[in-house]
Amino acid sequence: MRIHYIQHVPFEEIGYVQEWMAENNIEVSATKIWESATFPSLGDFDGVVIMGGPMGVYEEELYEWLASEKTFIKYAIGSGKKVMGICLGSQLIASVLGANVYPNSDKEIGWFDVSVNSGLNIWLGKDVEVAFTTFHWHGDTFDLPAGCVNHITSAACQNQFFTYGENVAAIQFHPEATPETVVSMVENCSDELEPDKFVQSAAEIKQKATENNFSISHQFLSKVLNRLFLQK
């Protein structure tokens, strides 16, 4: 299995995905946008993971590479490649599939519960927790694209994890987060931590960054990665 990942900013790394790829002997390649916004040929990979970032999918005038990335994702999905997006990555997938992406009524930053719909067990072929606490950092949301199924919701955001057929999965929250990536995001985006209903302080984020919360999120993400990329 050859997986190509797209990282948009240095401080939003792939986190637990790196551990999972090493454990499963995945052949890895990467596009790091701030170094070079070039994307591989479709024959050079079997699956793609699209990471997060502070930009919006609608800001093509500010980020000239956004249009090219959307085209790449569209062709990857259309050719039957395995495609997974996290946060901005999920929004890019939603946009490519024809849905509107826009600022949510509430920002969601910190550790908050998500609720899992029963249909996810069917798609995964295995059980997952019906609710768990995981890490969030997003201000935008999206409408559910036609032909997609949403499996997870939160109090602040309706569409948290959708699938499109057998080969596409889009996750709004951050199950890949590790202690290191959480610290990095807080350090680089602290200006967004203005007190609000669904925005926790840096101290509260640190206090809730428990081993158990990371473990449950990683277990969930491992099941998604196994199902999507390894069919197991």
Q: pLDDT, tens digit, for every residue of 12-21?
A: 999 999 999 9
Task: Give tens-digit pLDDT for 149-183.
Answer: 999 999 999 999 999 999 999 999 999 999 999 99
| pTM attached to this predicted model | 0.97
Task: Give tens-digit pLDDT for 47-97.
Answer: 999 999 999 999 999 999 999 999 999 999 999 999 999 999 999 999 999
Nearest residue to 111 via CA among 212, 213, 195: 213
Which pLDDT value is given to residue 118? 87
Radius of gyration for the chain, computed over Cα atoms and rounded to the nearest angstrom: 16
CATH, residue 96: 3.40.50.880
Provide the domain limits for residue 60.
Answer: 2-230
Q: Domain tally for the chain?
A: 1
With a cut of 90, say whether residue 35 has pLDDT above it: yes
How buried is 163 (Cβ within 10 angstroms: 0-12 exposed, 13-18 middle, 19+ buried)? Answer: buried
